[in-house]
Amino acid sequence: MMTGPLDISDLEVFSIIKKLKHNQMHSLELIAAENFTSRAVLEALGSCLTNKYSKGFPGQSHYFNGLEYNDELENLCQRRALEAFGLDSEKWGVNVRPYSGSPANFAVYTAVVGPHGRIMGLDIPDGGHLSHGYMRNEKKISATSMFFETMPYKVNPKTGYIDYDKLQENAQLFQPKLIIAGTSGYSRNLDYARLGQIANENNAYLLGDMAHISGLVAAGVVPSPFEHCDLVTTTTHKSLRGCRGGLIFYRKGVRCVDSEGKETLYNLEFLINHAVFPALNGGPHSNAIAGVAVALKQAMTPEFKAYQLQVLANCKALCSALTELGYKIVTGGSDNHLMQLDLSDKGTKGEQAEKVLQACGISCNTNTFLGAKSALLPSGLRFGSPALTSRGLIEEDFKKVADFIHRGIELTLEVQRSLDSKATVEDFIQALALEEKFQQEVAEIRAEVEAFARQFPMPGLPDR
């Protein structure tokens, strides 16, 4: 039991992994939050570091002994995190222990906002993230909104760009303790300088959540949040292309100087570290910290910068190709790794199109935008370029991907036209599954998608 390989020890789990690997190899992964990590990261993740429990921080007393190697690893990961983003260790520190992005954000709120303190973040229907706070009229959905007082800021419904003037006006009324500069479904660069100005006017901290774009930031191909933010969080598995984990960067030194020359110093290092442990987490996942450290080393290479430039080029190519096919792109394009397809004028919804594309071997996700009334009524689709770029696709390949998407949406409209105007999503799914002509079209598209996808190598561990 203790020495047998997985395919002998547990054939059921091994079989599930094999099926997923086959599916990844033979389909097109366009979910903006996903990527394919390297073999080296996966090897670190599956190492003997899994066995060791390490409560307490390096250089401090631990609950257990024998942690000198865990401490060495954590210190290495911290140095690499600062170096990867070009940060001075005298001015910035980093906690590498959060299990993922949402716990990292919640640790920040715990550290600097406190119970029932006020937070402003981009609304989910406008491209924000659940961890930034979300509530409907009848219910608080996100734990952030349950334990803190949250007010969303929004995009201009005419342009799709963040309405910074309205944010500034509302912040003066709401007086938040923290403003979040971060997005999950927003395809344009953030104006960190303007956000920093608004935060300063209200004596608020500015948190940059760069979970989606941290790989692009590390490569220097999009604006960095570090110049204007007090704190920065990120996941490590999206564009950074590591394993699942989280990072919290915090400023050190002087925060501000008053009119009489009196300095106010940051106290974020203690607050953040205490919020992560013991307030929220127990022992860190040292195997994940190892995987993150490996990914950070890779992020400092010329190859990684070339990859991120290709991510941007591929996203622009996808936008252009879909525009030429007659589709409306939210804000008219993209500055980063993702784009949003508005289907509101096509006679269908994002959920129906997502189901058809998935059946055809194309993974994406529904999205709401442009001031939608609810995140539960997605009016379009979100696509991202990082994962397929990791497989080696370039601009011409993404034009072919756009053609597959177009054919899938055309099939969606065909199914939609066969149904009554009051048909539900369940009715749509049933018609797609039971009508022979629809299944035949799905099979034809999927066969072409699979043949196209398997031309490109899959990163990661080799198959046994």
Task: Using a pLDDT cut of 90, give the percent of the chain over it.
Answer: 81
- Residue 63: pLDDT over 70: no
pLDDT 10s digits, 350-377: 999 999 999 999 999 998 766 555 556 6
Residue 98 — pLDDT band, cuts 50, 70, 90?
A: very high
Provide CB contacts within 8 A for 11, sequence distance 6+: none
Question: What's the CA dihedral at 302, 220, 386, 307 to 10 degrees?
Answer: -20
The architecture that CATH gives domain 48-298 is: 3-Layer(aba) Sandwich (3.40)
Kindly state the percentage of the chain with pLDDT values over 70: 97
What pTM value is reported for the model?
0.95
Q: Which two tokens stand for residue 199?
A: 């935060």
- How far apart CA 273 and CA 340 sit, in angstroms, is 37
Pick from 367, 338, 285, 227: which is nearest to 77 by CA?
A: 285
- At 134, the pLDDT band (50, 70, 90 cuts) reads confident
Per residue in 169-183, pLDDT tens?
999 999 999 999 999
- The confidence score (pLDDT) of residue 53 equals 85
What's the sign of the alpha-carbon dihedral 403, 406, 410, 416? positive
Q: At residue 308, does pLDDT exceed 70?
A: yes
Average pLDDT over residues 230-240: 98
User: Residue 152's CB: how many other CB atoms inside 10 A?
Assistant: 21
Question: How far apart (Å, rounded) are the C-alpha atoms in residues 394 and 318?
Answer: 10
Break the chain into its structural domains and give their ranges.
Answer: 48-298, 302-453
pLDDT of res. 199: 98
Could you please state the CATH topology (level 3) that the domain comprising 302-453 is classified under.
Answer: Aspartate Aminotransferase, domain 1 (3.90.1150)
Beta strand pairing call for 231-235 and 205-209: parallel
Centre a 10 Å sphere on the Cβ of residue 434 and count the other Cβ atoms it contains: 9
Say if residue 152 is preceded by a cis peptide, omega within 30 of 0: no
Compute the mean pLDDT over every residue in the chain, rounded to the nearest whole number: 94
**pLDDT class of 59 with cuts at 50, 70, 90:** confident
Task: Tell me the pLDDT band of 140, cut-offs 50, 70 and 90.
Answer: confident
* Overall average pLDDT of the 78-92 stretch: 98
CA distances (Å), 329 to each of 123, 318, 333, 336, in order?
20, 10, 6, 14
Query: Which amino acid is present at 437?
Result: K
pLDDT of residue 349: 86
Q: Is the pLDDT of residue 393 over 80?
A: yes
Mean pLDDT of 21-31: 97
240 three-class SS: coil
Q: What is the mean pLDDT of residues 376-400?
A: 94
pLDDT reported for residue 374:
55
- pLDDT-derived band at 15 (thresholds 50, 70, 90) equals very high
List, as one string, the DSSP characters of 294-357: HHHHHTTSHHHHHHHHHHHHHHHHHHHHHHHTTPEEGGGS-SSSEEEEE-TTTTS-HHHHHHHH
Instruction: Identify the pLDDT of residue 184.
Output: 94
Q: Which two tokens stand for residue 434?
A: 């039971």
Integer CA distances (angstroms), 218 to 32, 103, 260, 313, in order: 18, 22, 38, 17
